[in-house]
Amino acid sequence: MKKILLALTLVFALSSSAFAANTETEPNDTIATADTLEVNSSISGKADNNDVDIFVFVANQTGKMRTNLTNKNQSVAPYVVLASDKTTSLAESSGEAEFEVVAGETYYIKLISFGKSDYTLSLNNL
Ligand SMILES: [Ca+2]
Ligand SMILES: [Ca+2]
């Protein structure tokens, strides 16, 4: 009986953390409050005029990575800026962007919009 209870608890913990990891958590408008984005995963969120969404990730290998912004409102076209710090832009795009990373380094993805839009942002190794 004890084993069954433990198994049920584990399943619940796994499913609730997987759900949380796939949706942005406001506030995330600054580097200090950035949402963590796992490599080779995607996250969904909502953008707006006065809303900036910042995601942080650590490169798992040296080489090329790609971000892709989908499910967005085409008329407001949110775009992403990839940065290795607060000022250096590595790539900017309202769709797909490819950029070089170094294993173990921290990077930021800043999403900016000029209107309301749902979006899905994916991050993958190439
Ligand atoms: Ca948001
Ligand atoms: Ca935000």
Measured distance CA(126)–CA(38) in Å, rounded: 15
Q: How far is the CA of 4 from the centre of ligand 1 (A)?
A: 39
Domain 23-125 grouped into CATH 1.10.3110.10: no
Structure confidence by residue, pLDDT tens digits, 34-73: 999 999 999 999 999 889 999 999 999 999 999 999 998 8
Structure confidence by residue, pLDDT tens digits, 23-32: 999 999 999 9
Predicted structure pTM score: 0.79
Q: How far is the CA of 78 from the centre of ligand 2 (A)?
A: 13
Measured distance CA(98)–CA(122) in Å, rounded: 12
Q: How far is the CA of 126 from the centre of ligand 2 (A)?
A: 28
Beta-carbon neighbours within 5 Å of ion ligand 2: 28-29, 51, 53
20 pLDDT more than 50? no
